[in-house]
Structure 1
Amino acid sequence: MEGPSHLVQVVVVGAGIVGAAVAYEAARAGAEVVLVDKSLPASGVTADSFAWIGGPRGGDAPDPSTVLRRRVLQDYRRLEDEVPGLRVRWRGALMWGEEQLDDGRLAPGERLVDAREVGLLEPRLKARPIRALHLESHGAIDPVAVTQALARAAQEHGARLMANSAVTALDLRDRQVTGVRTSTGSLPADTVVVTAGVDAPMLCGPLGFDLPVAPSPALLMRFTAPPGLVRTLVATPHLEVREAADGHLLVAAGYSGEIDHDDLRRAGEMMLHRLTATFDAPDIELVSVRLGTRPMPADELPIIGPVPGVGGVYIAVMHSGVTLAPTAGRLIASEIVHGVEAGQLAGLRPARFRSRAEWRPQRRADA
């Protein structure tokens, strides 16, 4: 890959998986990159992700993010080849009970399976559905390990990591962002890429841009279990569970108003009963329940692109950051380093929120 005609200075704010992917791709493209985080890489909501990797399903209604999602699996496989230590567990996903399964709406890599095949895929299920959807190409990652691998690879390409350094403001002169102010000093930049999740609106506010992003809490539960109890990623209306690389089970659960650690423990115990009712394994034990807060744009679509009316600042905020990171990072780096506008991002620009009077919500196909 050819470098830029001049050395582009890029500061990436937020070392979650999206920020790490942008830093890696921009450094690899020849930019001078600084990746800044108020803590350590992947110490925020990235660590609390269920980390299911997959493209759009055959029954999903298209939306402006669909073209982005169609490249996710290909980009993850590319990164597996490029980045040392970056691994995806390609075990597929098994779904049932969500909707009427229709042969006519299957995408490539999807197939309907009967109870016998369900039993072959998940032999420890107590009750097998008559019909299920097998997403053969889907996988999962350890989001902390992947983020750390991307950050290391970015540094190998010359990027600098500034951990434990909070960005307090963007430097603005004549409607042009010229860098950032941090708790440990100032950094100049040609472009500042804000990948700070729920903190992004605070940084954009002084620019005169109201970034419509709200916190979206969810629970991530961890259980000990016999190895191989869950072989694929199992998703039903009442349970999303997969095996992590360390052999623990991870369960994603919706937020139900939990306000303290006792509430979190009770939610975990309820899920424990659900697991033992679903799988033939009486010796599952609750390890932990974490509350993560992902960013949710007002229309539920990713927000990726320059801030309208302000030069030198670029936003990359999305609910499904773990899924989209490799594709978004590649396209963002191409835009900010080489100036190549990505048509795949056309419907996701921050400018769609410029006028509240003109804004109309658009539904996103999947999270």
Structure 2
Amino acid sequence: MKIIVIGAGMIGASLTWELTEAGFTVTLLDASEAGKGTSANSFAWINSHGKPPEAYHRLNASGMQAHRDLAKRFGQAPWLNLTGCLEWQAPAEQQAMKDNVARLQSYDYPAEWISAGQLQQHEPEMHLDGTQGAIGWFSSEGWVDTQQYIHLLLQASAAEGAKIVTGSKVMEILQDGDTVTGVKTADGTLHRASLTINASGRWSDKPPYLGQQATQLAPTTGILIRVPAEYVPVNHVLATPMFHCRPDGEGVTLLCPNEGVYDIDESTPQSRIDELAADIILKAAEVWPRLAAIRPEQYKARMGIRALPVDGYPIVGPTPGLAGYYTVVTHSGVTLSPLLARLVTQEIKGKPAAELEPYRPQRLRKG
């Protein structure tokens, strides 16, 4: 069976590898370089930290386990950094945080309270002002190096016979009546397949996806700031009232203002992004005083656009009335990628995955 996967991000790379391992003939297409789209602009926090309801929490917890399982299958996992996460909130949000921790504990999810002294032991370079209040510790969480993950999986896929085609924009989804038969790329090549999978992330609601092929998205926008780790030396994922923060590979730390802190969208110019980055650097200097001495040319800020389905939950499955077409688009792609790839492959082999039933495309169809 020939399968086309569109999109070489976390989801697309995971699907390509699992499907190839299952014996399918897979072609992966991407308009740019592998991993340079949505996945490159993600905070990449692997967690099931605040993801209600319980079924969605458990799906994400299974996604975390799927990363560990994948590491065993590969014999290594240089992409997986299970550092744990530390969280504290502003006074007005602390009760909600306490409620969430109690809920997570009732699910047997690793969540506990630690003292300010213990926080200081975890992150000795931080300057604490005593206003942190309750501090949560989530030992099973961490972050994923999305570029390493994608490139290693695609290398493994290619070694098993998958065809990886980057720099090849899909211009048209080919249909014969109510059946998708493949795609046409910008160079005029027709790629025929029995199944075409839309794993295009935040582009999955734009051409070439038309009508039933398109998803319903409500993407959100954030800022990602990469700074030298000497200015912000951190060891864990940090979720704070003003920003999220984590290591980002050797010698680099990633700072992300929390959603809603700044009003930006896809039209915001880079000059404005740079202004807002300078503001968050100034605020973060209260926690890491060394940041007060950093110069603009020493850090880099960029916009990240998240592929968020309109109701916040994954869109996974075939489209009713449209044969030969399957969609896999989600906000929690970093956490869920290896699990969704495994479950989707299971379905394509003929065994429905009950875990995916709440997330079918038909729930968002008008009427």
What is the SS of the residue equivalent to 2:230? coil
The correspondence for 1:234, drawn from 238, 246, 252, is: 238
**Mapping for residues 1-367 of structure 1, pairs under 5 Å:** 8-57=1-50, 61-62=52-53, 64-83=55-74, 86-97=78-89, 98-100=93-95, 101=98, 104-105=102-103, 106=105, 107-127=108-128, 128=130, 129-184=132-187, 185-203=189-207, 205-208=209-212, 211-226=215-230, 229-253=233-257, 254=259, 256-257=263-264, 259-282=268-291, 283-284=293-294, 286-336=298-348, 338-354=349-365, 356-357=366-367
State the distance in 2 between where 1:207 and 1:130 align.
50
SS in 2 for 1:65: helix
Kept in 2, the 8 Å contact 1:64–1:348? The answer is no
Q: Is the 8 A contact 1:224 1:284 kept in 2?
A: no
**Which AA in structure 2 matches 1:257?**
I
Distance 1:201 1:171, change over 3 A: same
**Residue type of the partner of 2:164?**
L
The TM-score normalised by the length of structure 2 is 0.88
**1:44-103: CA deviation from partner (whole Å, max 9, x where unpaired):** 12111111111245xx53155333212112111122223366421111000011422256
Q: Matched residues in 1 for 2:231 and 2:241: separation?
A: 24
Structure 1 residue 141 displacement after superposition: 1.4
Report the AA paired with residue 161 of structure 1. Answer: I
Question: Contact 1:229–1:281 at 8 Å: present in 2 too?
Answer: no
Aligned to 1:3: none
Write the distance in 2 (CA, Å) between the matches of 1:331 and 1:273: 44
CA shift for structure 1 position 256:
2.0
Shift of 1:213: 1.4
Tell me if structure 2 keeps the 8 A contact 1:220–1:291: yes
- Tell me the number of residue pairs that the alignment of Structure 1 and Structure 2 aligns: 346
- Contact 1:85 1:149 (C-alpha < 8 Å) held by counterparts: no
Q: Which moved more, 1:219-228 or 1:43-52?
A: 219-228
Which amino acid is 2:28 matched to?
L
Structure 1 residue 287: deviation in Å?
1.2
Pick which of 120-129 and 343-352 moved more: 120-129
How far the C-alpha of 1:208 sits from its partner, in A, is 3.7
Q: Secondary structure at the match of 1:214?
A: coil
The one-letter amino acid paired with 1:216 is T
Say if 2:79 and 2:146, in contact at 8 Å, map to a contact too.
Answer: no
2:81–2:142 Cα contact (<8 Å) kept: yes
- Comparing 119-128 with 23-32, greater Cα deviation is found at 119-128
Contact 1:233 1:243 in 2 (8 A): yes
Give how far 1:228 is off.
7.6
Q: After the TM superposition, which segments of 4 or more aligned residues of structure 1 sit over 4 Å from their partners? A: 282-286
Residue deviations 1:101-145 (CA, integer Å, cap 9, x gap): 256432431110011111111112211534300000101111112
More helix, by proportion: 2
Structure 1 regions of 5+ residues with no counterpart?
A: 1-7, 358-367
1:123 match: secondary structure: coil
